[in-house]
Amino acid sequence: MGRGSLRKLIGGGGAMASDSDRDVFSIFGPFHLTSIDWTNSYHRTSVASSLVNGVYTMERDKQEKRVGSESRAMPWWDFFNFSLVETLIDDYDSSIYGAVFEYKLSNLCQNTSHAKAPPRYVIAFRGTILESDTWMTDVKHNLKFSFNTLHEGGRSLQAIRAIRSMVDKHSEAAIWLAGHSLGAALVLLAGKTMTSFGFLLESYIFNPPISCIPLEQLPGGKKIKGVFQFTKTVVKATVAMVLTDLQVQEDDPKTASWIPYLYVNPADPICAGYINYFRHKTFMSEIGASHIERIGAGKSVRSLLMGKSSSSDLSTEPLHLLPSADMIVNKNKPTKAMTAHGLHQWWERDSAMRENWESCCIRPYPDGKLEQLTIQ
């Protein structure tokens, strides 16, 4: 796959437009949302994804030396009455990989009775940018994710410190996390880390990578894929118990109480595995084999080979291991204007297209059962 194709697959906006126009909010942004209803999930999704795209655009402004009136990042947050508080800079390549935004109207919403109040702060993270200034560091962090060592990266540690600092200064209810692709992996890591400290942060996770075979992309029917997944789970669970003398663990109630919003597309090989993961988790609970699924899913192949056995250590637990989630699946087929991995799809303006978004509520139950997934 050529560099241009890679850029279209992994790049931020997702719209396959000219480089000169793709960052222009008035052309590609969710400018149709002139009034935000914070109780509307589509509105919240659009705002969160727009802020993430603002981080992408800040870095592209920097790389293309667009300053002053030529810069294009600000409308991506200013349109929704957010201001830029802080940029997060990678220590190695000095790229902008994240940002902290403050909602300028938060004081007006403090006494609202809505179940969904707007955030006071949103901490957003971009994904991979395959350009000369950033590709090496971004690819390195993608490899760290693949080998389950993302927690060891300097960018990850810096991001978690920034989030913890904000939580210490403000209520956890006032803070959202949002990220796309590699940035989504950072949000998964940070969200699970903060949950271990007792902080549950509302999180919007767009097209997160998953470190397993994307069965959704493989030929064959559901039964063949299901047999493959079942066999893999049993083998991993058996090896884990033999090598580590692992005791069967129930889902951690603390971890299960964190319910991130996951946004996936079955045509996207980077994130499609989440659909099969939750479908398989449901199947295993239905046949009474939740304990086997927890052991098999809770250990990465790398951790088994390296002999790491801590059941609570994030270094051994794959990031995609989530007891709870609200997953939104975009079942629209990719087009020339919309790639399956593009961030742009999540502020889709066409309500008819949004009819093909399917919502799945994943929750653990005391008897180990999960709510049935109906994704076809």
| Residue 326, pLDDT above cutoff 60 | yes
Helices (H), the chain: 3-10, 25-28, 41-63, 75-78, 135-146, 154-169, 182-196, 222-244, 253-256, 273-286, 290-297, 301-306, 351-354
Residue 37: band (very low, low, confident or very high) from pLDDT cuts 50, 70, 90: very high
With tokens 């919003």, the residue in question is: 261
For 96, phi then psi, to 5°, come to -85, 115
Burial label, 307 (beta-carbon count in 10 A; 0-12, 13-18, 19+): exposed
| Residue 42, pLDDT above cutoff 60 | yes
- Choose among 151, 323, 170: nearest CA to 254: 323
Could you report the per-residue pLDDT of 349-364, keeping only the tens digit for each? 999 999 999 999 988 8
| Residue 22, pLDDT above cutoff 70 | yes
Q: Please, what is the average pLDDT of the chain?
A: 80
Residue with the larger pLDDT of the pair 330 and 8: 330
| Residue 341, pLDDT above cutoff 80 | yes
Residue 139: band (very low, low, confident or very high) from pLDDT cuts 50, 70, 90: very high
Neighbours of 217 (CB within 10 A): 13
* Cα distance between residue 42 and residue 60, in whole Å: 27
| Residue 1, pLDDT above cutoff 60 | no
pLDDT at 254: 74
Residue 372: band (very low, low, confident or very high) from pLDDT cuts 50, 70, 90: very low
For 286-299, what is the mean pLDDT?
A: 50
pLDDT at 310: 44
Could you report the per-residue pLDDT of 149-205, keeping only the tens digit for each? 998 889 999 999 999 999 999 988 999 999 999 999 999 999 999 999 999 999 999
Neighbours of 197 (CB within 10 A): 10
User: By the 8 A CB rule, do 96 and 62 touch?
Assistant: yes
For 285-292, what is the mean pLDDT?
A: 51
Q: Specify which residues 86 forms β-bridges with.
A: 100
pLDDT at 299: 52
Percentage of the chain with pLDDT > 90? Answer: 56
Residue with the larger pLDDT of the pair 222 and 117: 117
pLDDT at 233: 45
Our CA angle for 19, 131, 126, nearest 5°, is 85
Q: Where are the domains of the chain?
A: 3-221+262-289+331-360
Burial label, 346 (beta-carbon count in 10 A; 0-12, 13-18, 19+): buried
For 98-111, what is the mean pLDDT?
A: 86
Identify the three-state secondary structure at position 99.
strand
| Residue 122, pLDDT above cutoff 90 | yes
pLDDT at 363: 85
pLDDT at 134: 93
Percentage of the chain with pLDDT > 70? Answer: 68
| Residue 67, pLDDT above cutoff 90 | yes
pLDDT at 14: 44
pLDDT at 274: 93
pLDDT at 241: 45
| Residue 142, pLDDT above cutoff 80 | yes
Q: Specify which residues 125 forms β-bridges with.
A: 98, 179
Question: Which of 190-194, 253-257, 322-326 has the least mean pLDDT?
Answer: 253-257
